[in-house]
A and B are shown apart, each in its own frame.
Chain A
Amino acid sequence: MANDLFNSFMTGPDETGRFGKFGGRFVSETLMPLILSLEDEYEKAKTDDSFWAEMNDLWTNYVGRPSPMYFAERLTAHLGGAQIYMKRDELNHTGAHKINNVLGQIILARRMGKTRIIAETGAGQHGVATATVCAKFGLKCVVYMGAHDVERQAPNVFRMRLLGAEVIPVTSGRGTLKDAMNDALRDWVTNVRDTFYCIGTVAGPHPYPAMVRDFQAIIGKEAKAQLEEQIGRLPDTLIAAIGGGSNAMGLFFPFLDDKEVEIIGVEAGGKGVNAKMEHCASLTGGRPGVLHGNRTYLLQDDDGQILEGFSISAGLDYPGIGPEHAWLHEIGRAKYVAITDAEALEAFQLCCEQEGIIPALEPSHALAHVMKIAPDLPKDHVICMNMCGRGDKDIFTVAKALGFEMNTGA
């Protein structure tokens, strides 16, 4: 038993918030007391049945969990190799996995007596989920969103406004997720006494990476039970897309100690992982550094200045990655690959045609990697990919990329 524990990949982070050398609490002193009290509150909640009872009730009756486990029969036949299963988190209320985590954080915020919620968002899915749960509980909600993302994810901006949130476009930097996170942190430092920062991914200072992972782990727990029921065994391969890494960590975590399960994270390769750095593949093309409260792999220059990423997918357009992924990468428990914009677009279309599912651009990256490897795998090989979001928000971007004129319908 002691030996089992020693070999477990599921015991992190340590008391300093580290996974190996990654993670930590690199924040200004103003935020430190709050981060410590959040950690206390979360530790209490973790073992508090009433907390999980509230979560489970909302997951079932508000979000619509469990999300289905779907055998993609036509896509499997089309690719001609491994069997492809999709974990359908795109069917959640608000259209992505993001709400799994938001519910947990908002319940904590309420327990801590915080009345104002702030969030950063890239694709807008986390912003929409946060605005939604704030509306449900009558909390004030402010969402920071890069100006470039406001433009390319317009439907989500309107959704957030309808839900009563204030959306603040961020013009610093290139106006994407990194810049939104900077401004959210600045707001938090300023309004620390009444404000709760609801982070949308497994990044930020400890305890966020662990806490968000624990809330998203419902994906992997359900997946394990559903596959057991449908195929009577564990899958051979798990595949998920990575922006900050929350949907991926949620799917992967419950399988980390099942060493026969291969785990693959898919980063955004943008225009290609090359010297021009027009991509967001932090693990494939970055090196360790410190940003936004944690040490992890970052896209940066020789001077330690952070580079702007590039991806067609606003949700993946972030120069870092959650610290637990950085650790899983270094110890080799998970493998990380990059998929380009063009490959993701192709997967997006194939999924629409073959399965009648319009995927978000983020999971289209995961699907593109499935398309790459499935044909060469045996027919009894089972791949489970995380269909973590639906593509309604992306139709304008995709139309533009495919040269379709939305206004005239031609």
Chain B
Amino acid sequence: MTRIDDTFARLKVEGKKAFVSYVMAGDPNYEKSLEIVKGLPAAGVDIIELGLPFTDPMADGSTIQLAGQRALEAGQTLEKTLEMVRSFRETDDTTPIVMMGYYNPIYSRGVDKFLQDAKDVGIDGLIIVDLPPEEDEELCIPAQKAGLNFIRLATPTTDEKRLPTVLRNTSGFVYYVSITGITGAAEAQAADVAPEVARIKSDTDLPVIVGFGVKTPETAEAIAGVADGTVVGSAIVQKIADDAPVADVLSFVKSLAEGAHRA
């Protein structure tokens, strides 16, 4: 059982959907980013997705591209992102942290060393956008062996034939990408998402969380209502881009969490 499994078990008992928030590690700088991350659980966040900055985020829209750029300019590195998690874990040993990003910074550090460090600091899962099932040998299988969840993206283009391949080595939860597109794009539509979630759930017992295109408490509620939970990223990151004080960022997160938890 990982912290992710524990969290879904707790939510099930409470009869609640999961609210997952995404922020970029180190955006706009290390200190403010850490303060925001430390405040997320109290704002109602069930699972924290922490973006790993990368110069070439090819699946991200401009909001998250710019967040990565701000973080890198402020000196964020993979090393510092691991340090952030270590610091977070000093006061919170229950909220799961999933690192989301691209493969190259991890490959550059060395997969074995990275997995050891990730486990040590208290990271629970990985979402690596540019590692499809065809590349499972690279990181997915070593990560599972190291006791980390490897969370796969399923998308509207993942057809019946391919779905079992996508689900095969996934663990923790399945992340359904609500649109064909990049982060920060069009609003997700609950009516489109519902049958897709049902399709995935007929093939797996894992929780299905839906992200991309969720920006408001209302959409969070609607989307969480047809899945096991929902993710908000760009809308929160935009508050940080607008230089909102930490308290304002967290109160916006709270409104989103309440939306998702109403579902």
Contacts and interface: CB of A to CB of B under 8 A. Distances in A.
Interface of A: 16, 24-34, 172-173, 178, 182, 185-186, 189-193, 289-293, 295, 298, 300, 302-306
Contacts of B61: 186
Interface residues of B, number: 45
Interface in B105-160: 105-109, 129-135, 152-159
A210 to B, nearest CB: 15
B78 A27 contact: no
B67 interface: no
A320 to B, nearest CB: 10
Main secondary structure of the interface of B (DSSP, over half): loop
Contacts of A16: 134
Given A28-B153, A189-B180, A306 B185 contact: no
B56 A289 contact: no
A291 B56 contact: yes
A305 to B, nearest CB: 5
Sorted nearest first, the 7 A-B pairs with minimum C-beta distance are: A304-B108, A304-B105, A190-B181, A30-B155, A185-B58, A26-B130, A303-B77
Interface in B44-98: 53-62, 65, 72, 77-79
Given A25-B134, A26-B131, A28-B129, A303 B177 contact: no
Given A26-B103, A193-B180, A303-B77, 7 more contacts: A28-B129, A28-B155, A30-B153, A32-B133, A291-B56, A304-B54, A305-B55
B180 A306 contact: no
Contacts of B189: none
A303 B105 contact: yes
B104 interface: yes
B105 A25 contact: no
A304 B107 contact: yes
B104 A189 contact: no
B71 to A, nearest CB: 11
B181 A28 contact: no
B181 A27 contact: no
B104 A290 contact: yes
Interface of B: 53-62, 65, 72, 77-79, 102-109, 129-135, 152-159, 162, 166, 177, 180-182, 185
A178 B129 CA distance: 18
A193 B60 CA distance: 19
A30 B131 CA distance: 11
Residue among B62, B65, B108 with max Cβ neighbours from chain A (10 Å): B108
Given A172-B65, A291-B104, A189 B59 contact: yes
A34 B129 CA distance: 16
11 contacts: A28-B58, A28-B129, A32-B157, A186-B59, A191-B180, A290-B103, A290-B130, A303-B78, A304-B78, A304-B108, A305-B55
Contacts of A190: 180-182, 185
Contacts of B79: 303
Contacts of B158: 29, 32-33
A28 B59 CA distance: 7
A16 B136 CA distance: 11
Contacts of B152: 29
Nearest to A193: B180
A348 B104 CA distance: 37
Contacts of A189: 58-59, 180-182
Contact of A292 (B58, B156, B159): B58
Contacts of B78: 303-304
